């Protein structure tokens, strides 16, 4: 079967659903499919577009519901353990403030922001040419809003493996080893952008990486894949490796930022969110995770004129 086309079994695995659910979606005409010689065929590109559109519809519905809750904010994009902890602290400090967050990758988060589906986008997109994060992407991905980019923190990202790094992973070219099982992040995530950049620099084809097409949506999922033995290596934050007791090989320190429209930046909920992030109590609470740098936290890195 061509890598651009999938059968029902492959689509079920790709969407992480039962094959019977695929047939139910076909019958309801809710998924793009073509029947050839009695078999259902699914173009991968159309499936990816369908998944993105469904995510957009879900965010739109969530946005409509959040608008009915006073003080509610909707966020989408990348993910990090600190964000999960931060949301808990915000609820404790400001019981009337609700922050809902969807894990969908940096690029999709920015697209959702531009389309009005979310109030905030979490992003850590590296621009290989400039070496800068997020700002170089704004003109292309956010043409319809006056963007503000605020740094939340810097974090370490790297390869995570079983304890003691049994496969001696130290750089991206190691991922092409035949006996190695890799777990990838989804298209549009900042981690995927980082991976593809380095593979391109080294001339390593994704086709040579066992597991390149196996995608998950969060750093914890990468870690759990390694803990379960489904994968030998993946890319995630140092915090996840520490929390799960896995080995960590650093790749880089990246800027994890909050992107939003200028009008949203001055909302009470966003300012409350920033106050909690800047508080000594919160910083002390996440110190045990390590590998986070808050020196520029709350600093406006860019604002559309």
CA count, 13 A, side-chain hemisphere, 38? 0
pLDDT of res. 54 = 56
Q: Report the chain (305 residues): mean pLDDT per 10 consecutive residues.
A: 69 75 74 73 72 53 46 84 85 82 88 90 93 93 93 96 96 95 93 95 96 91 94 96 95 96 88 88 84 91 88
pLDDT of res. 36 = 66
CATH code at position 22: 1.10.10
Q: Are 245 and 262 found together in one domain?
A: no
pLDDT of res. 300 = 94
Angle, helices 81-93 vs 268-278, to 10°: value is 110
Q: Are 38 and 55 found together in one domain?
A: no
- Which one of 212, 238, 253 terminates a domain? 253
Q: Are 168 and 226 found together in one domain?
A: yes
Q: Are 141 and 262 found together in one domain?
A: yes
Q: Are 185 and 276 found together in one domain?
A: no
Q: Are 173 and 262 found together in one domain?
A: no
Q: Are 239 and 265 found together in one domain?
A: no
Q: Are 127 and 262 found together in one domain?
A: yes
Range of the domain at 194: 158-253
Q: Are 137 and 124 found together in one domain?
A: yes
Distances (CA, A) of 267 to 12, 75, 112, 272, 275: 42, 14, 19, 9, 13
CA count, 13 A, side-chain hemisphere, 29? 0
Q: Are 13 and 84 found together in one domain?
A: no
Rg (CA), the chain: 20
pTM of this structure: 0.75
Identify the bridge partners of residue 159 per DSSP, sorted by sequence position: 235, 249
Q: Are 191 and 175 found together in one domain?
A: yes
Number of structural domains in the chain: 3
C-alpha–C-alpha distance, residues 201 and 16, integer Å = 32
CATH code at position 177: 3.40.190.10
Q: Are 75 and 92 found together in one domain?
A: yes
């Amino acid at each position: 079967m061509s890598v651009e086309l999938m059968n029902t079994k492959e689509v079920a695995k790709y969407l992480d659903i039962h094959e019977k659910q695929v047939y139910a979606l076909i019958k309801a005409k809710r998924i793009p499919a073509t029947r050839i010689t009695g078999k259902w065929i699914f173009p991968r590109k159309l499936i990816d577009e369908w998944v993105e559109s469904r995510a957009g519809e879900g965010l739109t519905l969530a946005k409509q519901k959040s608008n009915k809750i006073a003080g509610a904010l909707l966020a989408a994009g990348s993910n990090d353990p600190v964000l999960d902890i931060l949301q808990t602290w915000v609820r404790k400090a400001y019981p009337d403030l609700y922050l809902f967050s969807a894990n969908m990758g940096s690029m999709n988060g920015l697209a959702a922001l531009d389309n009005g589906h979310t109030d905030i986008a979490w992003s850590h997109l590296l621009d290989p040419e400039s070496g800068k994060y997020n700002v170089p992407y704004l003109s292309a991905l956010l043409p319809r809003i006056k963007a503000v980019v605020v740094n939340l923190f810097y974090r370490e990202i790297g390869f995570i493996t079983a304890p003691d790094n049994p496969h001696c992973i130290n750089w991206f070219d190691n991922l092409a080893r035949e006996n190695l099982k890799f777990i990838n992040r989804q298209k549009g995530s900042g981690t995927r952008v980082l991976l593809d950049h380095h593979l391109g620099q080294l001339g390593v084809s994704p086709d040579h990486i066992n597991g390149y097409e196996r995608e998950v949506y969060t750093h914890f999922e990468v870690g759990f894949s390694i803990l379960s033995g489904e994968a030998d290596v993946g890319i995630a934050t140092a915090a996840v490796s520490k929390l799960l007791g896995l080995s960590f090989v650093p790749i880089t320190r990246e800027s994890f930022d909050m992107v939003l429209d200028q009008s949203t930046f001055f909302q009470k909920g966003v300012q409350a969110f920033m106050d909690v992030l800047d508080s000594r109590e919160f910083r002390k609470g996440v110190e045990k995770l390590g590998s986070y740098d808050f020196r520029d936290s709350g600093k406006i890195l860019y604002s559309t004129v």
